[in-house]
Structure 1
Amino acid sequence: MRFPDLNGVLDAGSRLLEPNVRIGVTGLRRAGKTVFVTTLVDNLLKAGRLPFLDVVASGRFQASRLRPQPDPDVPRFDVEGHLAALTGPDPHWPEPTRGIGQLRLALRYRPGSALKRAVQPVSTLNLDIVDYPGEWLLDLPLLRQSFAEWSALTLNLAGQPPRDALSQSWRGWLATIDPAAPAEEEAARRGAALYTDYLHACRRADTLLSLIQPGRFVEPGDMKDAPLLTFCPLPGEARGRGSLGRGSLWALMDARYEAYKTNVVRRFFTDHFARLDRQIVLIDVLGALNAGPSGMADMKRALELSLEPFRHGSSGWLDWLLGTKIDKVLFAATKADHIAAHQHAHLRALLDRLVGDARSAIRFEGAAVETMAIAALKCTESVVTEHEGRQLRCVRGVPVGRDRPTVLFPGEIPEDADAFPPGRDKPYNFLPFRPPDDLGRDPRGLPHIRVDQALQFLLGDYLE
């Protein structure tokens, strides 16, 4: 007879008394992941701006504190440094996420029911927050694609506007090589360098191209110059195992692609993604509107691909003891402070349309899904002005590149959630804003829009 592992039983018991919840902060680039995590932590530590988090609103929340890293091999999220950037004498946006970061907060609260309080008057929830580059999220679909499949899809995408102009040098090089020729390291390095330049051009593009693979080519972390990053898509068929077989450039690129999947993507998925309990996906919808129809379509494609490999589904008690699944997913359109407050419902409607297919698939698997329009850091105020006898709802803040507050009419998102209705193919022009100058003077925590509602959806049941 096989007896249960004693350490496992003890670990499960400790989780009953002091449970952990692991939230993944994911999303594509420019969505504001770093600022979101910083605001979330700052407000949980100060609890001054969380009126829609039930445990705070009911007076049951006692305090929270930072605790040592749960995973000693994962870098700590530099919340102090990011707060200093936002609240210092010269407020500025912190550096974006370049690698994985993690933080643990212990939340102390009184349970909501008399029965729970009789068993344990004060409870503690350990909240683990995992933040990582959006580009790494986009590596996950590679787990289901062969080198031939990935090459065909990537080459097809690179030949379409606006990517065709950005990929000219790399595609020009491809036209000069023979994938069946004997493998040469110099050719592999040249192809990888040109392909990496193309990915960086996509990243810089005004059209906000989101689908950038592999993610480590633009955010290598500690893998810079590693042989694992010296491959690129090649023209050819799966026949590569025959006429393009052993010893060919195709075979070399294929082998490195598979090694990348095994040693980078699969390992990262196992160590981090597969351990998530809850997930928030931050999306810069306004940035996609600024980028135009191609930027919006690219973002939608990237989101659908990146969410496929996640394990979504309701967690029963056996899953909770032996291995978790993501049972709540929040899609959040960020930077809602860049538009007037009455436009937030339209922004959310557009987000609903953007993630509709992914949301339906996740709900089918049994997970709870919600969408919101949020601002991790509120930089503007909604104001009403009169222009040519017409009242306009505007925003007032300091745009990036300026030094004084300005009242702006940012434009409006269509009510029918069609971002580019017939007759409109031009991008929008929603401006970015600087952090306010007085952030460090308010002891209540960083100002935000609906971060407390996001927390209620993600954590409310744990804090009952």
Structure 2
Amino acid sequence: MPLIPTLDEARLALLNIADRATGLVTPSLRLGVTGLSRAGKTVFITALVHNLIKGGRLPLFEAAASGRIARAYLEPQPDDAVPRFDYEAHVRKLVEERLWPSSTRRVSELRVTLEFESATFLNRTLGRGRIHLDIVDYPGEWLLDLPLLAKDYATWSAETLARAREPARAALAASWLATLAGLDPTGPEDEGLARDLAEAFTGYLRAARADEHALSTLPPGRFLMPGDLEGSPALTFAPLDLAPGTVTVPKSLRAMMERRFEAYKDVVVRPFFRDHFARLDRQIVLVDALQALNAGPRAVADLELALTEILQCFRPGRLSWLGSILSRRIDRIVFAATKADHLHRDSHDRLEAILRRLVGRAIERASFAGAEVDVIAMAAVRATREASVSDRGETLPAILGVPLPGERLGGEAFDGEAEIAIFPGDLPDDPESVFERPDSISEALESESELQQAPHSGSQTDPGLGLEFVRFRPPRLERTAEGLTLSLPHIRLDRALQFLIGDRLT
């Protein structure tokens, strides 16, 4: 089953022709920022733009490191019907309040224009280069809907029920499954029953998404973030327990659910795919692997399945110059494990290896189609710094940071002002071990996590608290001797920038 019908393919071709026509004077590059919930999309975009505009410390971003970027500035975005990414508000939140901005709740867009000197003598003689970087941001939950385009209602129902009955989900789905029990799909359509089923199903999805479970395969995504569609028939359906091989009876509950499932795809998913997702040139996929690792192998396996299904909907590869006028392909993809600042740098390579294992099948497919792929352990905004602490005569690699107000660890609550030192443990050398162990990834750590106050305090809390990641406040920005505020610190944001756009600034 095609992701979008032929008519929509034609409309997509017209959109691409319009994009190319408007880019004849100044070319544009559309960068998609995607990822599942809590992966840090808003923070990534804000940090990327802040570092470009402020001239941040980007040693691996060649055009910036060599001083060839003359100017970077914001301009009005090209799509008038798409909300603007509220960069200024997010910067204030990070820099002035030292709090993390709210998660993405809708599609938004931001245009950054870069003026640069070419790296080649011939191009330099033609004058300064100029390119628009159009950044497209959208909720991670919506990514989960893309695989629905290739499924019918019966297939989706069977897969969703099978997952809900797995040991990791059975207790979470108990209330919804009880509502579903004994229901006759051939019975008459009933609006009240449809609302009850949709409400119970949504409750199960919310419970599965909670931090302690960190499950990822939770479509339909708009059930978790309905927006202006809340209460509409397109969001008032749920899976039914259908016997294999049965047919749909007109005016039945099943017919009602099937109709609304297809309406959801037509009203929500296809327009999103056609108008936004299928028009991208480059892609970064942000993954909160640490949360899944902390929840255990079932959450890791669930994350792997979610990423594999999502990435099957990508359009990777290279096109000829003529083909690029009518269509677009994503020719460079970055998979980034976020929140690398929650680990000591000794574990960054291991986090990278685990993510590479998670997205291995997607990398193979993208590479086969001609796309280039990179895998990075990254922190778009670095909230911690590294140090060494001593415990019972042993020196441990630690991270230092200020936990957010109200964060708790080992029975201690933090006020958002005091700095603490944490030994986060070490991820295993073998990435396969996180897929094989029956219990939490904490058993795979080489040492138990320990929480200590900053070294200058001279005291420490009880050791042996187990693995538990604390959310830290954004850092206080440094100032130069002239009083200028520096850009947001990061880990490997420059590497991601070089891979994603560096070739377009030569």
Query: Any idea what SS the aligned residue of 2:91 has?
Result: helix
1:433 aligns with 2:471: yes
Moved more, 439-448 or 279-288: 439-448
Who is 2:392 aligned against? 388
Who is 2:101 aligned against? 94
Q: Quickly say closer, same or farther: Cα 1:389–1:217, change in 2 above 3 A.
A: same
**Structure 1 position 12, deviation (Å):** 4.2
**Structure 1 position 430, deviation (Å):** 4.3
Letter in 1 for 2:196: R
- In 1, Cα distance between the equivalents of 2:40 and 2:254? 38
1:150 aligns with 2:156: yes
**Structure 1 position 419, deviation (Å):** 4.4
Query: Any idea what SS the aligned residue of 1:163 has?
Result: coil
Query: Any idea what SS the aligned residue of 1:329 has?
Result: strand
Who is 2:230 aligned against? 224
**Structure 1 position 418, deviation (Å):** 3.1
1:212 aligns with 2:250: no
Letter in 1 for 2:338: T
Letter in 1 for 2:382: K
Who is 1:283 aligned against? 287
1:59 aligns with 2:70: no
Who is 1:328 aligned against? 332
TM-score normalised by structure 2 residue count:
0.86
Letter in 1 for 2:354: L
**Structure 1 position 221, deviation (Å):** 1.9
Q: Quickly say closer, same or farther: Cα 1:421–1:149, change in 2 above 3 A.
A: closer
**Structure 1 position 29, deviation (Å):** 1.0
Residue pair 1:350, 1:419 contacting (<8 A) in 2 also: no
Letter in 1 for 2:352: R
Residue pair 1:211, 1:298 contacting (<8 A) in 2 also: yes
1:44 aligns with 2:22: no
Q: Quickly say closer, same or farther: Cα 1:421–1:232, change in 2 above 3 A.
A: closer
Query: Any idea what SS the aligned residue of 2:471 has?
Result: coil
Residue pair 2:17, 2:326 contacting (<8 A) in 1 also: no
- In 2, Cα distance between the equivalents of 1:207 and 1:378? 26
**Structure 1 position 13, deviation (Å):** 6.0
Who is 1:30 aligned against? 38
Query: Any idea what SS the aligned residue of 2:418 has?
Result: coil
1:409 aligns with 2:409: no
Query: Any idea what SS the aligned residue of 2:29 has?
Result: strand
Query: Any idea what SS the aligned residue of 1:165 has?
Result: coil
- In 2, Cα distance between the equivalents of 1:412 and 1:399? 20
Who is 2:452 aligned against? none
Who is 1:299 aligned against? 303
Residue pair 1:379, 1:433 contacting (<8 A) in 2 also: no
- In 1, Cα distance between the equivalents of 2:16 and 2:238? 44
Moved more, 188-197 or 231-240: 231-240
**Structure 1 position 197, deviation (Å):** 1.1
Residue pair 1:411, 1:430 contacting (<8 A) in 2 also: no
1:378 aligns with 2:378: no
**Structure 1 position 382, deviation (Å):** 1.3
Who is 1:308 aligned against? 312
- In 2, Cα distance between the equivalents of 1:201 and 1:211? 12
Residue pair 1:207, 1:290 contacting (<8 A) in 2 also: no
Query: Any idea what SS the aligned residue of 1:420 has?
Result: helix
Q: Quickly say closer, same or farther: Cα 1:309–1:362, change in 2 above 3 A.
A: same
Q: How does 1:179-258 map to 2 (within 5 A)?
A: 179-237=185-243, 239-241=245-247, 244-258=248-262
**Structure 1 position 155, deviation (Å):** 0.1
**Structure 1 position 315, deviation (Å):** 2.9
C-alpha distance after superposition, 1:312-367 (max 9, x if no partner): 11132123322211011100000000011121111111111111111111111110
Who is 1:462 aligned against? 504
Q: Quickly say closer, same or farther: Cα 1:438–1:22, change in 2 above 3 A.
A: same
Letter in 1 for 2:38: R
Moved more, 164-173 or 196-205: 196-205
Who is 1:140 aligned against? 146
Letter in 2 for 1:103: L
C-alpha distance after superposition, 1:13-44 (max 9, x if no partner): 65243110000000111111110111011111
Letter in 1 for 2:77: Q
How much is the aligned-residue C-alpha RMSD, in angstroms?
2.1
- In 1, Cα distance between the equivalents of 2:16 and 2:310? 32
Letter in 1 for 2:154: A
**Structure 1 position 424, deviation (Å):** 6.5
Query: Any idea what SS the aligned residue of 2:23 has?
Result: helix
Moved more, 30-39 or 202-211: 202-211
Who is 1:164 aligned against? 170
- Determine which of 339, 354, 369 is the counterpart of 1:350: 354
Query: Any idea what SS the aligned residue of 2:170 has?
Result: helix
Query: Any idea what SS the aligned residue of 1:311 has?
Result: coil
- Determine which of 338, 341, 364 is the counterpart of 1:337: 341
Compare relative contact order (CA 8 Å, sep 6+) and give the higher one, 1 or 2. Answer: 1
Moved more, 21-30 or 418-427: 418-427
- In 2, Cα distance between the equivalents of 1:422 and 1:66? 47
Unpaired segments ≥5 residues, structure 2: 1-12, 408-413, 443-466
Moved more, 380-389 or 146-155: 380-389
Query: Any idea what SS the aligned residue of 1:48 has?
Result: coil
Residue pair 2:338, 2:379 contacting (<8 A) in 1 also: yes
Q: Quickly say closer, same or farther: Cα 1:11–1:258, change in 2 above 3 A.
A: closer
- In 2, Cα distance between the equivalents of 1:9 and 1:185? 44
**Structure 1 position 52, deviation (Å):** 1.2
Q: Quickly say closer, same or farther: Cα 1:11–1:103, change in 2 above 3 A.
A: closer
- In 2, Cα distance between the equivalents of 1:419 and 1:405? 33
Who is 2:120 aligned against? 113
- In 1, Cα distance between the equivalents of 2:19 and 2:234? 37
- In 2, Cα distance between the equivalents of 1:207 and 1:258? 30
Residue pair 2:16, 2:327 contacting (<8 A) in 1 also: no
**Structure 1 position 310, deviation (Å):** 1.2
Unpaired segments ≥5 residues, structure 1: none
Query: Any idea what SS the aligned residue of 1:246 has?
Result: coil
Residue pair 1:286, 1:430 contacting (<8 A) in 2 also: no
Letter in 2 for 1:62: A
TM-score normalised by structure 1 residue count:
0.94
- In 2, Cα distance between the equivalents of 1:420 and 1:302? 17
Q: How does 1:69-88 map to 2 (within 5 A)?
A: 69-88=77-96
